[in-house]
């Protein structure tokens, strides 16, 4: 038997070793097993690898993929500072009371910071950092080749495989690229606040896709009710879809109406499940993601190929000198880079 002081010194040395062990090289098998078991270090590592576009992440997600599809993904989007992270924090608190395990991925396309370092998110979600059933991660644009849509999808799959029942995806903005980032979500929640007039205009003009649920946050603001009725009147013009997006006034900081907001998210989920649309929607979302990622990669490949090939660059010069027409140049480029046959690309209806 070791003497007590010896024991404590061994213990002390062991805890010092943990950070080193955390950096140990994971293999495809140990990382997949760690994620499956919900091990936080494995999860953190897997998402870092996803973020870096590492080949190991690709292999691990491929192994885990058949076990995914159990998590429910809620995507939050909206202009900067409307309270998306604060709302997630309140929603997490609400669902944690029911004992559900939760994952959160905040994506900031404008930030170079990554690996969970976005300051605002850390402040907003600080209450949950010590909860072992809540895994929170921020992602910036740093170094990810395949784009944030791809990284978000892979991170969602990792959290799903780790047994998170609910995953929140947050991204700032209300345009098309944001829809690509959180487009994989089962329920899309648009967060607005008094003063988000541009977003309301975008909704009105049909530039922004109609979300499934809308929160008008910072309801203590005097203009909150005006914004609510404005959004309501725009949505009432919208077609005859079975699902009418509910609008909820919230206060994310005080948690006011957060249970009501959660109830609307659950209602939407129930609607999708009962009407058989959840599977259909997931199929469509996955197809869109696959095509978006494939197109992105094809474009990168094309740009690289053309810029490094004097013969292809010469084609562009010929187009400029009017010696070759643009579509003939397209044909030649596609033939050379993608081996797409002349006849195929030229065939019309």
| Contact footprint for ligand GTP (CB under 6 A) | 80-86, 120, 124, 172, 217-218, 220, 251-253
Q: How far is the CB of 319 from ligand GTP (least distance, A)?
A: 43
Stretch that binds Mg ion, among 77-85, 182-190, 271-279, 335-343 (CB under 5 A): 77-85
Query: d(Cα 197, Cα 200) in Å, to the nearest integer?
Result: 5
Instruction: List the single partner that 158 binds among ligand GTP, Mg ion, none, CB under 5 to 8 Å by kind.
Output: none
Q: Indicate the burial class of 325 (C-beta count within 10 angstroms; 0-12, 13-18, 19 or more).
A: exposed
Question: For residues 267 and 248, what is the distance between their CA atoms, to the nearest angstrom?
Answer: 13
Contact map string, positions 163 to 202, toward Mg ion, x by CB under 5 A: ----------------------------------------
Q: Which is nearer to Mg ion, 152 or 315 (CB)?
A: 152
Contacted entry of ligand GTP, Mg ion, none for residue 180, CB cut-off 5 to 8 Å set by kind: none
Exactly one of 50, 60, 78, 85 binds Mg ion (CB under 5 A); that residue is 85
* Closer Cβ to Mg ion, 56 or 215, answer by number: 215
Residue 84 or 128: the one with the smaller Cβ distance to Mg ion is 84
Give which of Mg ion, ligand GTP, none residue 324 binds (C-beta under 5 to 8 Å, depending on kind). none
252 binds, among Mg ion, ligand GTP, none (CB under 5 to 8 A by kind): ligand GTP
- Enter the tokens of residue 63: 């192994």
- Other Cβ atoms less than 10 A from the Cβ of 42: the count is 22
Strand 102-107, strand 166-172: pairing: parallel
Check: CB of residue 151 under 8 Å from CB of residue 130: no
| Residue 317 contact, options ligand GTP, Mg ion, none, Cβ 5-8 Å cut-off depending on partner type | none
Residue nearest to ligand GTP (CB): 83
What is the closest distance, in whole angstroms, from the C-beta atom of residue 86 to ligand GTP in the complex?
A: 3
Distance CA 192, CA 82 (A): 6
Residue nearest to Mg ion (CB): 85
Between 126 and 313, name the residue whose CB sits nearer to ligand GTP.
126
Judge contact between 211 and 244, C-beta under 8 A.
no
**Which of 42, 213 has the CB closer to ligand GTP?**
213
> By C-beta, is 69 or 80 nearer to ligand GTP?
80
Q: What does 74 bind: ligand GTP, Mg ion, none (CB cut-off 5 to 8 Å by kind)?
A: none
Rounded to an integer, what distance in angstroms lies between the CA atom of residue 183 and that of residue 238? 21
**Shortest Cβ distance from residue 310 to ligand GTP (Å)?**
45
Burial call 82-119: b when 16+ CB within 10 Å, e when fewer = bbbbbbbbbbbbbbbeeeebbbbbbbbbebeebebebe
Q: Which partner from the list Mg ion, ligand GTP, none does 80 bind, CB cut-off 5 to 8 Å by kind?
A: ligand GTP
Can you name the residues that pair with 187 across neighbouring β-strands? 74
Nearer to Mg ion, 31 or 90 (CB): 90
Nearest distance from residue 125's CB to Mg ion, in Å?
9
Q: What span, in angstroms and rounded, lies between the C-alpha atoms of 171 and 79? A: 9
Judged by beta carbon distances under 5 to 8 A according to partner kind, the member of Mg ion, ligand GTP, none in contact with residue 218 is: ligand GTP
Strands (E), the chain: 72-78, 102-107, 134-139, 166-172, 187-192, 213-216, 247-249
What three-state secondary structure class fits 209?
A: coil
Binding site for Mg ion (CB under 5 A): 84-85
């Amino acid at each position: 038997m070791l003497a007590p002081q010896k024991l404590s010194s061994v213990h002390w040395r062991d805890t010092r070793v943990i950070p080193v062990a955390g950096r140990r090289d994971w293999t495809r098998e140990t990382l997949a097993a760690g994620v499956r078991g919900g091990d936080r270090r494995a999860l953190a590592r897997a998402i870092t690898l996803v973020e870096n576009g590492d080949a190991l992440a690709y292999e691990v997600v491929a192994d885990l993929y058949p076990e995914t599809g159990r998590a429910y993904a809620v995507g939050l989007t909206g202009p900067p500072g409307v309270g998306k992270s604060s709302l997630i924090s309140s929603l997490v608190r609400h669902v944690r009371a029911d004992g559900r395990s939760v994952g959160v991925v905040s994506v900031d396309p404008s930030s170079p910071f990554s690996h969970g370092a976005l300051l605002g998110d850390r402040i907003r979600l600080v209450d949950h950092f010590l909860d072992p059933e809540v895994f929170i991660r921020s992602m910036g644009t740093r170094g990810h080749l395949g784009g944030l849509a791809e990284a978000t999808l892979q991170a969602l799959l990792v959290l799903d495989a780790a047994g998170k029942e609910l995953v929140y995806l947050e991204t700032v903005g209300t345009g098309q690229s944001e829809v690509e980032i959180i487009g994989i979500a089962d329920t899309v929640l648009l967060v607005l606040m008094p003063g988000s007039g541009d977003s309301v205009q975008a909704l009105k003009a049909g530039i922004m896709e109609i979300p499934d649920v809308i929160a008008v946050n910072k309801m203590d603001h005097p203009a909150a009710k005006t914004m609510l009725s404005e959004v309501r009147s725009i949505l009432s013009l919208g077609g005859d879809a079975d699902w009418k997006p509910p609008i909820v006034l919230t206060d994310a900081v005080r948690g006011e109406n957060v249970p009501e907001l959660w109830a609307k998210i659950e209602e939407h989920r129930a609607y999708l499940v009962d009407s058989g649309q959840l599977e259909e929607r997931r199929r469509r979302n996955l197809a869109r993601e696959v095509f978006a990622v494939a197109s992105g990669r094809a474009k990168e490949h094309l740009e690289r190929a053309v810029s490094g090939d004097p013969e292809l660059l010469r084609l562009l010069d010929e187009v400029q000198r009017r010696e070759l027409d643009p579509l003939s140049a397209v044909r030649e480029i596609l033939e050379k880079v993608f081996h797409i046959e002349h006849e195929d690309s030229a065939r019309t209806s």
